[in-house]
Chains A and B, each alone.
Chain A
């Protein structure tokens, strides 16, 4: 079990009303699961209020980095004390 920090950016920060949260997790899946439980419903409710309907969990429509590396590039699911998850929606317009 490791104590990690989750940092929210962009629209997620605005809609969740916080820029970070701390949680104890066994591994990445556990962290994402806790994140979904604690923040998922609130985020989707805010999005719905803004007229944005998104299906699925936070992780399905977010970019997530662990210590500055995309989760898509990370093979080990282990977490260590002090790890930081960065979470934000993809913004790809120009």
Chain B
């Protein structure tokens, strides 16, 4: 934010512009609209995000987050707006994660992907369209986030995350979210996250099934599932035979976002040291307790 006088101006403008909104349950809230937020941001030369945070700190809810507050509270929404989430891979899981994080009101997104859209992405990669085939995925992602939420700041990197560039690409990230499609990259990202002490929300899918876990730096993580030695680790899985249908991708990506939100806001308990096995075909959800 700017200096004290400017902060006071912004607070006053927010307070003057706040309107009472009565929700379906009869609860009244003070809210500010998207238009008001943009107007204050423009006149005070600050970002929409800063206006939203200032409003929330004074108990005034940006209308766009009204339906978030019941689960994460004002402080949870503030933490989200102040936080950075990094999404590694903007394909199936990654693009839905990006969409939902923007709608949830994440403050800063780092999106890392070096790939372009291909026709066989259209079934599940939510940002791919017939129009943008051949375009870089990060370009579509940044456009989409801007369309959804002008308060979300986006940084994109059209490259692969490696040990050499990880520290600079992931700088400031509170959580790293898996949007990858192979095991060796996931293991590399897990190692990088350990080194940088960043929680990593792992997920993968195949057919009707997906699995997810939140891996904190001190957790055993992927070695519990795949072993510690890279010898004989599967590079691809059953998805190469039975595919990646859209509903499974959306289901698992949604759970990843929920884990990221829990990690950032402190609301709820992340699924640590367990893998959540989701079986959409049998409508079964299991947890396997993991050990090292």
Contact = CB atoms under 8 A, between A and B. Distances in A.
B82 to A, nearest CB: 28
A50 B286 CA distance: 24
Interface string B230-261: 00101111111111100001000000000000
A14 B204 contact: no
A11 B234 CA distance: 17
The dominant DSSP class at the A interface is mixed
Contacts of B94: 94
Is the interface on chain A under 10, 10 to 19, 20 to 34, or 35 or more residues? 20 to 34
Given A11-B209, A63-B225, A88-B277, A94 B288 contact: no
B211 A91 contact: yes
B244 A70 contact: no
Interface string B164-190: 000000000000001111110010000
A92 B279 contact: no
A3 to B, nearest CB: 20
A92 B225 contact: no
B224 A19 contact: no
B20 interface: no
Nearest to B89: A94
Contacts of A94: 89, 91-94, 178-181, 203-205, 244, 249
Interface string B71-99: 00000000000000000010111100000
Interface string A25-47: 00000000000000000000000
Interface string A49-62: 01110000000000
Contacts of B89: 94
B228 A91 contact: no
B239 A91 contact: yes
Nearest to A72: B227
Contact of A89 (B179, B237, B291): B237
A45 to B, nearest CB: 15
B133 to A, nearest CB: 19
B5 interface: no
B35 interface: no
A68 B229 contact: no
Nearest to A63: B225
Given A65-B225, A73-B223, A91 B291 contact: no
B92 A70 contact: no
Interface in B56-71: none
Contact of A86 (B226, B240, B288): B288
Nearest to B211: A91
A10 B290 CA distance: 17
A63 B206 contact: no
B228 A73 contact: yes
A31 B210 CA distance: 26
B66 to A, nearest CB: 32
Interface of A: 7, 9-11, 13-14, 19, 50-52, 63, 65, 67-73, 86, 88-94
9 contacts: A13-B284, A14-B208, A14-B282, A51-B241, A68-B224, A72-B226, A90-B237, A94-B93, A94-B181
